[in-house]
């Protein structure tokens, strides 16, 4: 479920460290108080990561209640942004990189060209 973000309208990640002992109410409260976002929008995925970068939690509101997702990697680690204490929006490509264990800010990514002029 977490390997594919096509079912979500937006994906936000909480940069920095999150207390992974928090449950649905604690994470929803963090989204509201610390990041001034509304966790009650359907289809928005909020991701959190603690000090151990081999596991993440996701919070989604489905209209009638919250869904708490938990993923633990058997091998490898997530490249989680640690320098900031803010919520970032991820593009579908950044989400794919994150789930593949890569950093969300790729310094050497090839830029796509919108139109090509033939010489």
Model pLDDT for residues 87-99, shown as the tens digit of each residue: 888 888 888 888 8
pLDDT for residue 78? 87
Every domain of the chain and the residues it spans: 10-99
Q: Return the CA Rg of the chain.
A: 16
pTM for the complete prediction? 0.82
pLDDT score, position 16: 87
Other CB atoms within 10 A of residue 10 CB: 13
Burial of 55 (0-12, 13-18, 19+ CB in 10 A): middle
The per-type count for the chain, helices as H runs and strands as E runs, is 2, 5
CA distance readout (Å), 100 to 5, 21, 88: 13, 25, 18
DSSP class of 119: -
Look over the chain and give the mean of its residue pLDDT values, rounded to a whole number: 86
């Amino acid at each position: 479920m977490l390997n594919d973000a096509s079912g979500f309208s937006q994906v936000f990640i909480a940069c920095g460290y999150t207390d992974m002992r928090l449950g649905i109410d604690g994470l929803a409260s963090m989204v509201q108080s610390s990041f001034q976002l509304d966790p009650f929008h359907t289809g928005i995925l909020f991701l959190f990561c603690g000090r151990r970068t081999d596991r993440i939690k996701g919070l989604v509101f489905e209209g009638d209640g919250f869904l708490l997702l938990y993923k633990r990697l058997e091998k490898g680690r997530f490249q989680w942004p640690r320098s900031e204490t803010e919520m970032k929006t991820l593009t579908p490509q950044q989400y794919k990189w994150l789930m593949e264990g890569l950093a969300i800010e790729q310094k050497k990514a090839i830029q796509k060209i919108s139109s090509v002029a033939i010489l």
